[in-house]
Amino acid sequence: MDKFRVLDLLQLDLKENDALNLKCISGRPGLIREIRIPEINRPGLALSGFYENFAYNRIQIFGRGENAYLKKLEREKKKDTLEKFFKYDIPCCVFTRSIDPTEDFRNLAERAGCPLLQTDLSSSEFTTRIIRVLGDIFAPKKLLHGVLVEVFGIGVLITGESGVGKSETALELIERGHRLVADDVVEIRRVSGNILIGKGAKVVSHHMEIRGLGIINITHLFGVGAIRDKKQVQLVVHLEEWDASKEYDRIGEEETTTGILGVRVPSLLIPVRPGRNIPIIIETAAMNERLKKMGYYSAKEFNKNVMRWLETESARATFLEKS
Amino acid sequence: MVEKEVVIKNRAGIHARPAALIVKMANDFKSSIYFEKDGERVNAKSIMGIITLGATYKTPLKVIAEGEDEKEAVEAIADLFERKFEED
C-alpha cells in the first residue's frame, strides 16, 4: 500500500455517517506526515507531563477536556510540557467540536510542522467514525481481475481469462436489471474479520470495455439504478472455455470455495460454449445461493428425495415378493 | 518469469490510447502479462486495468510476463514505453 498521509485523510471522499468534516487550521506543511496505525489517542496524560508509554504515533484527539487544560497551561505560562509534546513525531492533532486551539499550542505546532485539524463533530462521534474509516483503509486489500455485479442481492464476482466474455456477461446481467459494481479491476478489502467488500477503482468505475464498442459509461446508458458503489463478494463464478476432457460438476452436492484474502467464498466453475446462456446461469446460481443462505440446498434435498423413493420402492418390492 | 522496469516517458501518462496500444501488443503474446506499481498488480491485457494504475509521467512500473514467449513479450512492451507510445 502507498503511504497514507494526513493529506490523504483530508481528501477522502466520505459520505453521511462516515463524514469526518475535517479541515486543516494550522501546520499545513506537516500534511505530508504519514499515518501509520489505525488508532487514536487522547493525550490527557501526556499534557499533564506523564510521557511513559505515550502513544505518539497515533492521531491525537483534543476534546473540551484537553482544550480546557491547554487554556490552563497558557494562563500559567507553562510551555515546557507542550514543547516536549511536539518533540514527538505526532501524525496530527484533531480538535473536535470546532474548538480553536490556544495561541501557544498553535505556534508550537506551527514551529514543529505538526498539522492541526478541526472537526465540528463531538469527540466520541469523531472517534467512532475515524476508527471505522481507518479500519477500512488499513484493511488487507487486493486487486482482482474480474467483474463484480450484484445479482438478486448477491455480490457475484465473475472471473476468467481475458476474452472469455466476462464483460459481455455482465452487460447482459445489467440489461436484465442487475447492477454493476466494478468492471475489470475489482479492489477487494477484508473488513470486520471475514467480510469481503469489493469496489471499483475511482476513475474507471462504472465504465466497461466491450470489444467492438469501446469504452461505455454504464451510469449514463442504463441509469443510476444499474450501478452500486460497493458490495460484499458472496459468490465467485469462474468462466472458462469448455474443455471436453474435463469433468464439470453435474450434481452440485458438494460445495467448492475459493480463498480471497484468507476468506472462503462459495465458488462455481462454469464452462463457456456457444449457445450456453451464461447470464441466466449466473442469475440461477445467485438465486440458488440465496436458497442456501436460507438453509435449503437444492442438490442435497433432491438426493434425499431420490433416496427416500428408492427405499420405499425396495420395501414395496420385498413386500410384493413375499405375498 | 521475466521482469523489467520501465518508466513512462510520454507527458500525458497512460490514458486510453496508450492503454489500448499496450493491450493490443499484449494480446499478440500467449504469456500472461502484468504490470506492477506499488505492489499492486494488474493484467496487461485489460484496458481498464492499465488505466486504473494511474500511471503518470515518469512513473516507474514493472512489466512481468510468464509463459512460453515471456522474453519477447516483455521486450516488445518495454519498447512501446521507449517509443513513448508513438506520442509527443
Answer yes or no: do A185 and B42 touch at CB < 8 A: yes
pLDDT at B55: 86
Q: Which fold has domain B2-86?
A: Histidine-containing Protein; Chain: A; (3.30.1340)
Please pick, among A166, A178, A179, A206, the residue that the annotation labels catalytic: A166
Q: How confident is the model over A42-77, as pLDDT tens digits?
A: 999 999 889 999 999 999 999 999 999 999 998 988
Please pick, among A145, A276, A308, A316, the residue that the annotation labels catalytic: A145
What residue of A is the nearest CA neighbor of B27?
A162
Q: How far apart are CA A115 and CA A89, in angstroms?
A: 11
DSSP three-state, residue A97: coil
Indicate the range of A2-16, A152-166, A259-273 predicted with least confidence.
Answer: A2-16
**At A225, is the pLDDT very low, low, confident or very high (cuts 50, 70, 90)?**
very high
Instruction: Report the Cα A79 to chain-centroid distance in Å.
Output: 44
Query: Does A215 contact B at CB distance below 8 Å?
Result: yes
Query: Does A213 contact B at CB distance below 8 Å?
Result: no
Please give the mean pLDDT across all residues of chain A. Answer: 90
According to DSSP, the residues that pair with A142 across neighbouring strands are: A188
Q: What is the secondary structure of B10-40 as a DSSP string?
A: STT-S-HHHHHHHHHHHTTSSSEEEEEETTE
Indicate the range of A39-53, A225-239, A248-262 predicted with least confidence.
Answer: A248-262
Among B16, B9, B10, B56, residue whose Cα is nearest residue B37: B56
Residue A190: pLDDT over 90: yes
Q: Which residues of B touch A201 (CB under 8 A)?
A: 48, 52
Helix axes A64-75, A103-112, angle to 10 degrees: 100
Let me know if domain A141-296 sits in CATH 3.40.50.300. Answer: yes
Q: How confident is the model over A257-297, as pLDDT tens digits?
A: 999 999 999 999 999 988 889 999 999 999 999 998 888 88
Does the annotation mark A220 as catalytic? Answer: no
**At A1, is the pLDDT very low, low, confident or very high (cuts 50, 70, 90)?**
low
pLDDT at A266: 94
Amino acid type, A90: I
The answer to whether the CB of A27 falls within 8 A of the CB of A110 is yes
Helix (H) or strand (E) holding A137: helix A123-137
CATH code for the part of the protein at A6-137? 3.40.1390.20
Residue A138: pLDDT over 60: yes
Instruction: Report the Cα A123 to chain-centroid distance in Å.
Output: 25
The answer to whether the CB of B43 falls within 8 A of the CB of B34 is yes
Q: Which residues of B touch A208 (CB under 8 A)?
A: 48
What does DSSP assign to residue A116?
E
- Joined grid coordinates for residue A231: 458490495
pLDDT at B48: 85
Answer yes or no: do B47 and A209 touch at CB < 8 A: yes
CATH 3.40.50.300 positions along chain A are 141-296
pLDDT at A161: 87
Query: Does B83 contact A at CB distance below 8 Å?
Result: no
Answer yes or no: do A183 and B54 touch at CB < 8 A: no
Q: Tell whether the torsion through CA atoms of A305, A311, A312 and A317 is positive or negative.
A: positive
Answer yes or no: do A145 and B42 touch at CB < 8 A: yes
Q: What is the ipTM of this complex?
A: 0.71
Query: B11 to each of A36, B18, B81, how far by Cα in Å?
Result: 33, 12, 12
Query: A297 to each of A294, A321, B25, how far by Cα in Å?
Result: 9, 36, 46
Query: Does A212 contact B at CB distance below 8 Å?
Result: no
CATH 3.40.1390.20 positions along chain A are 6-137
According to DSSP, the residues that pair with A259 across neighbouring strands are: A264
Cα distance from A127 to chain B (closest Cα, Å)? Answer: 30
